[in-house]
Amino acid sequence: MTLLNIRNLSLSIHGTPILRDLSVSIAPGEILALTGESGSGKSMTALATMGLLPQGAETTGEIALNGTDLLQLSEPQMCNQRGNTIGMVFQEPMTALNPLQTIGHQVAETLRLRRNGEAPMTPASARDLVRDTLTRVGLPPEKVPLTRFPHELSGGQRQRVVIAMAIIRRPALLIADEPTTALDVTTQAQILDLLRDLVRDFAMGLMMITHDLAVVSQIADRIAVLRKGEIVEQGLTDDVFRQRRHPYTRALFAASRHRAQLCDVPVHEPLLRVQNVSRDYPMKRTGLFQPRPRFRALKDVSFDIRRGERLGLVGESGSGKSTLTRAMLGLDPVSGGQITLDGRLIDVNNPATRRKMQVVFQDPYSSFNPRHRVARLISEPFHLMDDAPTAAARDAAIAEVLTAVDLSPSDGAKYIHAFSGGQRQRIAIARALITRPELILFDEAVSALDVRVRAQILDLIADLSRRYGLSYLFISHDLSVVRGITDRVMVMQAGEIVEQGPTDQVFDAPSHPYTRKLIAAAPRLPAFGDEALSTDRGMT
């Protein structure tokens, strides 16, 4: 018996084809993962099922839920289905809730709607059901009162509220669009467990959309791989993972477990020294004449980065990674201790230390001024140099770094909107390289990229470190990425470095309980056959 049956679904938006002849089905109690890279049509499939496609969308084919073709329903009939027979969970728990309403109000809202002409639930019974449902998703009202506002909850708690909203009417079908992508690994593991339990308990069908194959392998019964709006391969998760019939599936797999080839570097003297650094932030006063309490974001942090070394930094959000990055760049003053580069104190106003250290940020879309040409964007760090090249030498330097990141020198004349996410990240690396720095900070530099692009960028970083003798600090929440690109790794928790050591040693034999917890929570791609064992030194 099938619950959801999508047959020959094609979708175009303003004439641009988005989905082509897509057919999948979900049975009650079954978890289907839709996976693929960005732009493959995963989210559009979900929105088509919800009847929430953007304006200008045209569909053909059939989306049958319990035999009813959803595409034939009128808007009022669809409103009766949404939140009732189909629930949906979104990616960004931070923005998915109305900031001005209490969580109790928002969870109860769908109960107070008039459905199919039936009277809405009475406030009292609605409140009871809201309490039960929030307790079921792990937010008992005794601990998290219904009167809380979203900004008073953590990301994981908010995602639980969103899940409670989606399941409160016991929908037959639940759609979850990247439900854990914005969460920390330990929270992700809890949310995945919760979703799996709910599917079993309520015999719901779950359409799970995710780009992360490791997550897929943990949760899905069946998997459909999308590419450019078409399903290239689908089947039982185990079979698809084992057989990987389609070249695209194989490419995704290889990229997911990709490890860059790092060359061996001789150990040198320390380049950057962080000594007993702490950073306090003042908080809200508790009383009018009380001193401001302080929040200690970094606690006595000490480490070295040696010349040529590739160091990783992992930890969950709020662990102090960003504070440390800002302190290292000299953007934030430290409250205690000192940071030196090549024996000189870091100072944001001293171009000499600044040009030796550059940074590449996460978001390839918002870290460039859209009105400047690429040549100007990447030559900006020149103002840090007294002897910055001019005229022809400047053009030659721009051409050289563009070539170094596998772009063409002629790309310098283009604007940033002409480039894809991966190309923008190459441009960001070119910008960091142009002053010939000795140290680059990669702050979640590949987190926003698709797996195949990510693999290419990681190779580029490894290659550059070899050619230019670069040292870098690679900061990421993604343990598997850090494992493939660093020699040594540090684990940060609540402002402290709780463990550091050679990367493989830390990952294979973690000594600190927090590291063990992180590694246990991180979803793992299963290893099938000898190929997996020989090419991968194991995945996290």
Partner 1 sequence: MLRYALSRLTSLAISLAVASVVIFLVVEVAPGDPASYMLGINAQPDTLAALRSELGLDVPKITRYFNWVTGMLAGDFGMSYTYRTPVSQMISDRLWVSLPLALYALGLAVLIAFPAGVLAAARRGKTSDISVMAATQLGIALPNFWFAMLLVLFFAINLRWFSAGGFPGWSYFPSAIKALTLPAVALALPQAAILTRVLRSALLDTLHEDYIRTARAKGLTRRQTLWRHALRNALIPVLTIIGLQFSFLLAGAIIIEQVFYLPGLGRLVFQSISQRDLIVVESVVMLLVFAVILVNFLVDLAYAAVDPRLRSRA
Give yes or no for a contact between 204 and 172, defined as CB atoms under 8 angstroms apart.
Answer: yes
For partner 1, the closer CB: 158 or 454: 158
- Comparison of 288 and 391: residue with beta carbon closer to partner 1: 288
CB of 166 to partner 1, least distance (A): 7
Name the token pair of 358: 């550059």
Footprint of partner 1 on 97-116 (CB under 8 A): 97-101, 109-110, 113, 115
Shortest approach of partner 1 to residue 495 CB, angstroms?
Answer: 23
Which residue's CB is nearer to partner 1, number 152 or number 400? 152
Task: Please state the closest distance from residue 116 (CB atom) to partner 1, in A.
Answer: 11
Residue type present at position 29: G
CB of 82 to partner 1, least distance (A): 4
Amino acid at 114: R
Which residues on neighbouring strands pair with residue 489, listed in sequence order?
312, 501
**How many Å is the maximal CA-CA distance in the chain?**
77
In angstroms, give the least distance from the CB of 198 to partner 1.
17
Output the smallest distance, CB 314 to partner 1, in A: 28
Window of 80-88, 251-259, 322-330, 518-526 that interacts with partner 1 by CB under 8 A: 80-88
Q: Is 179 in the site for partner 1 (CB under 8 A)?
A: no
Rg (Cα) of the chain, in Å, rounded?
A: 25
Q: Judge contact between 164 and 89, C-beta under 8 A.
A: no
Q: Are 312 and 476 in contact (CB under 8 A)?
A: yes
Say how far residue 190 (Cα) sits from the centre of its chain: 16
Under rule CB under 8 A, residue 172 binds partner 1: no
Helix (H) or strand (E) holding 189: helix 185-202
Using the rule CB under 8 A, is 165 a contact of partner 1?
Answer: yes
Shortest distance, position 284 Cβ to partner 1, whole Å: 8
Q: Which of 3, 24, 31, 166 binds partner 1 (CB under 8 A)?
A: 166
Contact positions with partner 1 (CB under 8 A) in 408-467: none
Residue among 110 and 493 whose Cβ is closer to partner 1:
110
Q: Where are the beta strands (DSSP E) in 247-356?
A: 270-282, 294-306, 310-314, 336-341, 344-345
In angstroms, how far is CA 346 from the centroid of its own chain? 31
Q: Which of residues 181-240 bind partner 1 (CB under 8 A)?
A: none
**Piece of the chain touching partner 1 by CB under 8 A; list 92-100, 182-190, 220-228, 257-265:** 92-100
Considering only residues 252 to 311 of the shown chain, the ones binding partner 1 according to CB under 8 A are: 284
Sheet holding 294-306, edge to edge: 294-306, 270-282, 336-341, 344-345
CB of 113 to partner 1, least distance (A): 6
Among 10, 12, 23, 80, binds partner 1 (CB under 8 A): 80
- What span, in angstroms and rounded, lies between the C-alpha atoms of 270 and 491? 20
C-beta neighbour count of 452 within 10 angstroms: 16
When binding is defined by CB under 8 A, the residue of 67, 75, 349, 391 that contacts partner 1 is 75
Does 82 participate in binding partner 1 (rule CB under 8 A)?
Answer: yes
Find out whether 417 and 381 touch, Cβ atoms under 8 Å.
Answer: no
Q: What is the spatial distance between Cα 169 and Cα 171, in angstroms, rounded to a whole number? A: 6
What is the C-alpha separation between 367 and 363, in angstroms, rounded? Answer: 6
The span from the CA of 41 to the CA of 64, in Å, is 19
- Minimum CB distance to partner 1 smaller for 120 or for 140: 120
Among 15, 76, 291, 333, binds partner 1 (CB under 8 A): 76
CA distances from 101 to 97, 98, 149, 165, 320 (A): 8, 6, 6, 13, 30
495 binds partner 1 (CB under 8 A): no
Among 160-168, 359-367, 391-399, 423-431, which window interacts with partner 1 (CB under 8 A)? Answer: 160-168
Q: How far is the C-alpha of 306 from the C-alpha of 436, rounded, in Å?
A: 17
Residue among 98 and 338 whose Cβ is closer to partner 1: 98
CB 221 within 8 A of CB 31: yes
User: Do 491 and 506 contact (CB within 8 A), yes or no?
Assistant: yes
Residue list 128-157, contact with partner 1 (CB under 8 A): 149, 151-152
Size of interface with partner 1, in residues (CB under 8 A): 32
Query: Pairing relation of β-strands 336-341 and 344-345?
Result: antiparallel
**Is 52 near partner 1 (CB under 8 A)?**
yes
Q: How many CA within 13 A on the CB side of residue 233?
A: 19
Q: Which is nearer to partner 1, 284 or 371 (CB)?
A: 284
Select from 38, 68, 77, 95 the one that contacts partner 1 (CB under 8 A): 95
Query: Pick from 92, 230, 239, 304: which binds partner 1 (CB under 8 A)?
Result: 92
Q: Which is nearer to partner 1, 132 or 380 (CB)?
A: 132
Distance in Å, CB of 48 to partner 1, minimum? 13
Question: Looking at the DSSP assignment, which residues form a beta bridge with residue 210?
Answer: none
Are 510 and 516 in contact, with CB atoms under 8 Å apart? yes
Q: Is 96 in the site for partner 1 (CB under 8 A)?
A: yes
- For 283-426, list the strands marked E by DSSP: 294-306, 310-314, 336-341, 344-345, 357-360
User: What's the token pair of residue 353?
Assistant: 């230390």
Nearer to partner 1, 100 or 236 (CB): 100
Among the listed ranges 87-95, 272-280, 319-327, 406-414, the one in contact with partner 1 (CB under 8 A) is 87-95
CB of 51 to partner 1, least distance (A): 9
Nearer to partner 1, 285 or 516 (CB): 285
Cβ atoms 523, 217 nearer than 8 A = yes
By CB under 8 A, which span of 84-92, 118-126, 442-450, 499-507 interacts with partner 1? 84-92
Q: Can you give the binding site for partner 1, defined by CB under 8 A?
A: 50, 52, 75-76, 79-84, 87-88, 90, 92, 95-101, 109-110, 113, 115, 149, 151-152, 162, 165-166, 284
